Amino acid sequence: MKKLPRNLRLEAGNARRQFLKLAGYGTLGLVAGGVWPLLGQSAAGQHEDAISKTGFVPDLDISLVAKPGNLAIFPGPATQIWQYHATVNKGDKNRVVELPRSYLGPVIKAQQGEKIRIRFTNSIPEESIVHWHGLHVPEAMDGHPRYVIPQGQSYLYEFEVKNRAGTYWYHPHPHGRTGPQVYGGLAGLFLVSDDEEQAVGLPDGEYDVPLVIQDRTFDRDNQLVYTSGNRMERMTGFLGNLILVNGKPDFTLPVSTTVYRFRLLNGSNSRIYKLAWQDGRPLTIIGTDGGLLEKPVQRQYVFLAPGERIELWADFSGSPVGYRTNIISLPFDGGGMGRGMMMNRRTGTTQNLP
Ligand SMILES: [Cu+2]
């Protein structure tokens, strides 16, 4: 198919006032619906430090390191960040996809039923551990804060991918430092595919686009500012004053006259978004936190709380060349404090995200 240049703009910094109005908390029945089964957890194997002892034969073996770096996000001084880097030791090299010029970690792609080994090394100057958000893994593989490792040490993850096809993500999970570490740049997507998904024939390759939405505040020297001390922030959680998509303050995606799959993650610490197409077309939602829906549903808008994912299907074949549209976050007011909370399905308790 011949590609025609189009512009899709996921509105970022230039919609500041709209974004800055967001303070409430809301939810949509869709997100809470029982469309996804909770899969049984595999028997938690005894965690072993030495790879040679486990007898685990991975389909995909990855080294993942968290380390300090710097990145030119704006003109002028580079921004100090923390970032995940990954290399494939065994398996298809295309299973790890870097997001160009982004502080975000690489997208890791796996197939349901595959055995995954991840050799995590912590090279940031404080304790950390990796949590696989949404994946059903044995307890010792889930990055609970009690498994934190200090700088310079490694943790071995080995698990089978049990989840249905969908969009999951990984981030640090040390006690009390999860927020600052995610904010510093440590987060990445973990995509699962399965036979069911492949039978549907959804857009793939360059037509399958991750969109990670995060709010950040930068100082005059382009450095990240994270505060959580004042009275307002203690109520709402940290809210940045600039919205970044895939780590970019001015993210724009040229699209072709065809169909797309957009995987949206709210990777913000506390901010909730009420997302809609600016041109009024309904959102065609094909997936949520639990993976693909049985069939698409249409909504005029959808709330996305921190840590949540939503997958959209979008058809630009009827749009004229040069057409521009945006995914925007509508202003809303709600009854809550605007603090991102989630239900922990295992314990039934709430906890702060991420
Ligand atoms: Cu999480």
Residues 259 and 223 in one domain: yes
Residues 221 and 186 in one domain: no
The tens digit of pLDDT for each residue in 178-187 reads 999 999 999 9
> Which range among 2-11, 73-82, 164-173 shows the weakest confidence by mean pLDDT?
2-11
Structural domain total, the chain? 2
- Where does a domain end: 196, 212, 236? 196
Residues 244 and 154 in one domain: no
User: Does 227 fall in a domain?
Assistant: yes
User: Does 45 fall in a domain?
Assistant: no
The pLDDT assigned to 236 comes to 75
| CA 315 / ligand 1 centre spacing (Å) | 31
| CA 129 / ligand 1 centre spacing (Å) | 12
Interacting residues of 6 by C-beta distance below 8 A, sequence separation 6+: 254, 255, 256, 257, 316, 319, 321, 322, 323, 324
Give the structural domain span for 125.
56-196
Mean pLDDT of 91-102: 96
DSSP 217-255: EE-TTS-EE----SHHHHHH----SEEEETTBTT--B--
| CA 170 / ligand 1 centre spacing (Å) | 7
Higher pLDDT, 101 or 12: 101
Angstrom distance (rounded) from CA 98 to CA 110: 15
Question: What is the side-by-side order of every strand in the sheet holding 7-10?
Answer: 7-10, 324-329, 273-277, 302-304
The pLDDT assigned to 28 comes to 24
Is the pLDDT reported for residue 60 higher than 60? yes
The pLDDT assigned to 341 comes to 31
| CA 351 / ligand 1 centre spacing (Å) | 10
The tens digit of pLDDT for each residue in 7-19 reads 344 444 333 222 2
The pLDDT assigned to 53 comes to 66
Q: Looking at 18-114, which runs of residues are DSSP E strands? A: 60-71, 79-90, 96-97, 107-111
> Which range among 15-24, 110-119, 284-293 shows the weakest confidence by mean pLDDT?
15-24
The pLDDT assigned to 183 comes to 97
Encoding tokens for residue 225?
């500012």
User: Does 125 fall in a domain?
Assistant: yes
The tens digit of pLDDT for each residue in 198-240 reads 999 999 999 999 999 999 999 999 999 998 767 777 777 888 9
Identify the band that residue 33 occupies on the pLDDT scale cut at 50, 70 and 90.
very low
Mean pLDDT of 60-67: 98
| CA 238 / ligand 1 centre spacing (Å) | 16
User: Does 46 fall in a domain?
Assistant: no
Identify the band that residue 350 occupies on the pLDDT scale cut at 50, 70 and 90.
very low
Percent of the chain past pLDDT 90, that is, above it, reads: 68
The pLDDT assigned to 44 comes to 30
User: Does 1 fall in a domain?
Assistant: no
Residues 137 and 250 in one domain: no
Residues 13 and 65 in one domain: no
| CA 352 / ligand 1 centre spacing (Å) | 9
- Where does a domain end: 196, 211, 233? 196
User: What's the complex ipTM?
Assistant: 0.94
The tens digit of pLDDT for each residue in 256-300 reads 999 999 999 999 999 999 999 999 999 999 999 999 999 999 999
Residues 265 and 295 in one domain: yes
| CA 7 / ligand 1 centre spacing (Å) | 32
- Where does a domain end: 196, 212, 230? 196
The tens digit of pLDDT for each residue in 298-339 reads 999 999 999 999 999 999 998 888 888 899 988 887 433 333
Residues 215 and 321 in one domain: yes
User: Does 39 fall in a domain?
Assistant: no
Residues 227 and 188 in one domain: no
Is the pLDDT reported for residue 22 higher than 90? no
| CA 162 / ligand 1 centre spacing (Å) | 17
> Which CA distances in Å does 150 have to 21, 185, 309, 331?
39, 18, 30, 41
User: What is the four-CA torsion angle of 291, 294, 295, 298, rounded to 10 degrees?
Assistant: -50
| CA 48 / ligand 1 centre spacing (Å) | 24
The pLDDT assigned to 17 comes to 26
Residues 346 and 206 in one domain: yes
User: Does 22 fall in a domain?
Assistant: yes
| CA 344 / ligand 1 centre spacing (Å) | 10
| CA 136 / ligand 1 centre spacing (Å) | 12
Mean pLDDT of 74-86: 98
| CA 201 / ligand 1 centre spacing (Å) | 29
| CA 198 / ligand 1 centre spacing (Å) | 27
| CA 214 / ligand 1 centre spacing (Å) | 14
The pLDDT assigned to 235 comes to 74
| CA 131 / ligand 1 centre spacing (Å) | 6
H or E, element range at 275: strand 273-277
**Burial (CB count <10 Å: 0-12, 13-18, 19+), residue 170:** buried
- Any idea what the CATH number is for the domain that residue 224 is in? 2.60.40.420
User: What is the four-CA torsion angle of 138, 139, 145, 151, rounded to 10 degrees?
Assistant: -50
> Which range among 39-43, 96-100, 200-204 shows the weakest confidence by mean pLDDT?
39-43
Mean pLDDT of 241-269: 94
| CA 169 / ligand 1 centre spacing (Å) | 7
| CA 33 / ligand 1 centre spacing (Å) | 20
The pLDDT assigned to 52 comes to 53
* Per-chain residues with Cβ under 5 A from ion ligand 1: 133, 354
Residues 84 and 105 in one domain: yes
User: Taking the CB of residue 238, how many other CB atoms lie within 10 A of it?
Assistant: 20
| CA 303 / ligand 1 centre spacing (Å) | 18
Residues 282 and 303 in one domain: yes
| CA 335 / ligand 1 centre spacing (Å) | 24
| CA 78 / ligand 1 centre spacing (Å) | 28
User: Does 249 fall in a domain?
Assistant: yes
Residues 222 and 184 in one domain: no
Q: What is the largest CA-CA distance in the chain?
A: 60
